[in-house]
Structure 1
């Protein structure tokens, strides 16, 4: 190439990453054609005013992305352009998503799935008081030591079916989100791909984007993740990790079969991908399917916590990982969060070890079940997915409703819900015409009934009952 220079004015991060991104963008747009030879590293370094090592690192990143090939003495050549659907996967989601940063007052909160208020405050207050009395010095200082009882609590809480993580695999964390992000930060580097389904808990992909990780989208069907598409993504993008929710996935409620889990484990092993298994909602179910960690224990990290089943404000969480990863993840968690507060870690552990967390979980599940029964009765005749123990509903919208328009209509009628875009991990061309709403945050069941009645009325009236002229 003779008259080409990369545009390094856009993007962020290290220069080598911006250089690789610029070359990748020009390959996607056809500016650099198939078979084209990239400039020699020394020449390009001179032209853009950097070191040969920086250019070499950028070229290596392009090779890892499957975009170029290089041979000593011959140079670096473009392998080919990807199809349009693959290009869309490179675009990161917005940092904020579609929710309000500050929720409007006076609205029914159907946009949250935190544990319902079933009177757990009294138990937590007692735990807080007792912890303050027993550990006054630890509360007044930074957390330097992690007592074994915190790992015991994590092992007990994350254990489900026949899965029982060992104590030397546990990392106590500031909630499940922090657990997942600590694992991503510890085991990947800026520019690496992390794989996600098109629809998932997308705040992880947004957070990963903030620390320089890239999103690769894996297709799903009615049974969950498509193993064949996972192979495609691994071959093309070489993701270092994959985030998934195998049981009661947010927002679609799909649970992967044992066969799918075995297939995903097999692909991950073949392509050396670390799996992050978010079992936050699975913890609320009685699903007997073995956890993904049982099929690929050497490469699976299981994350969970108390937010959906006990109390979100306690911020209790743990992850279980292969012991070789434990120290790195603990360090990354401290760097990402500033450190684990002794008070919260001790209270969360006491709740679990005393058995009171399990008791609160049973009561929360019963309350959620009563509220889901209201949904089933009120929305009879409409298409939706719900589980009696899981605090959200995935509602398919009838014609002519669009997801965003229906969300806005609900807002104007006093109900906050989430449209499908809130759960897209990247810029996806897939359209689902569906919304998710939670039932756990309204204080009383009558409030749930009132909000679901609003939703039904809008579904029945269609666009004839709502229009926006703003």
Structure 2
């Protein structure tokens, strides 16, 4: 291929990782076609002002992701996408809540907005009573959680012989905060986190905001599609 240079102006991490990410992005966009030969390592190293070793590490990372193949003496080529192996549209997962209403009798799984079935009046009444009876509890985000909360968490999580000790429970201000804390603790910026298509849109969007990359896995009536999950794992190496 000729007249192509990677865009290294964005992204994070070491240069070889940003280079691999840039090439992967151009493959996804069709800028680099299936079957195309990537530039020789020495030539690309000269063009972007780095070492041959850095290019080699980037190409190796692309091979691990299942995007290219390399043969000694022939070069590195972009692999053709398998039939029926189209990439899922990430838009529903990363754009978050939409203002568009769902069709009558249907739910929008790419939105956090609940359909209006009259719950507003009920919630308003409950909040009014709560504000009157427990004004302090709703006016501040306290970090001084009562001991009974830890005991309740331990009891609720107990399954069979597993029972976490109360002092291992970490209360959070909502499920969203809990999931994001887990993602932040178990992954590093640049890591891939995989979600099924019907996922809570704000979680995948928030993962992107803290530097994690997201990929979607196809589902069927039984849940996650094992073959698609295997493909994503081979290409993205998610955490």
Q: TM-score range by the shorter chain?
A: 0.5 to 0.7
Aligned to 1:22: 22
Residue number among 126, 148, 151 corresponding to 1:119 in the alignment: 126
* 1:13 and 2:14 are equivalent in the alignment: no
The aligned residue for residue 81 of structure 1 is 80
Q: Which has the higher contact order (CA 8 A, sep 6+)?
A: 1
Q: Which residue is 2:110 aligned to?
A: none
User: Partner of 2:153 in structure 1?
Assistant: 154
CA distance in 2, matches of 1:97, 1:4: 37
**Residues 91-240 of structure 1: pairs in structure 2 closer than 5 A:** 91-92=90-91, 93-99=93-99, 110=116, 117=123, 119=126, 122-123=129-130, 126-127=133-134, 129=136, 150-159=149-158, 164-167=163-166, 169-240=168-239
Corresponding position of 2:108: none
Unaligned runs of 5+ in 2: 101-113
Identify if the C-alpha distance between structure 1 residues 219 and 113 changes in structure 2 by more than 3 Å, giving closer, same or farther. Answer: farther
Does the 8 Å contact 2:20/2:62 carry over to 1?
yes
CA separation of 1:212 and 1:156: change in aligned 2, threshold 3 A: same
Per the normalisation by structure 2, the TM-score is 0.65
Contact kept in structure 1, 2:34 and 2:81, CA below 8 Å: no
C-alpha deviations, 1:5-43, integer Å up to 9, x for none? 22446xx32274543233123434273543735532x54
User: Is the partner of 2:193 in helix, strand or coil?
Assistant: strand
Preserved contact between residue 89 and residue 215 of structure 1 (Cα < 8 Å): no
Q: What is the match of residue 109 of structure 2?
A: none
The count of corresponding residues between Structure 1 and Structure 2 is 221
Q: State the 1:177 CA deviation.
A: 0.8
Q: Report the CA distance shift for 1:5/1:90 in structure 2 as closer, same or farther (over 3 A).
A: farther
TM-score by length of 1: 0.37
SS in 2 for 1:195: strand
Compute the displacement of 1:217 (Å): 2.1
| Aligned match of 1:65 | 65
Say whether the 8 Å CA contact 1:38–1:75 is kept in structure 2: no
Tell me if the contact between 1:181 and 1:204 (Cα under 8 Å) persists in the aligned partners: yes
Q: Which moved more, 1:157-166 or 1:170-179?
A: 157-166
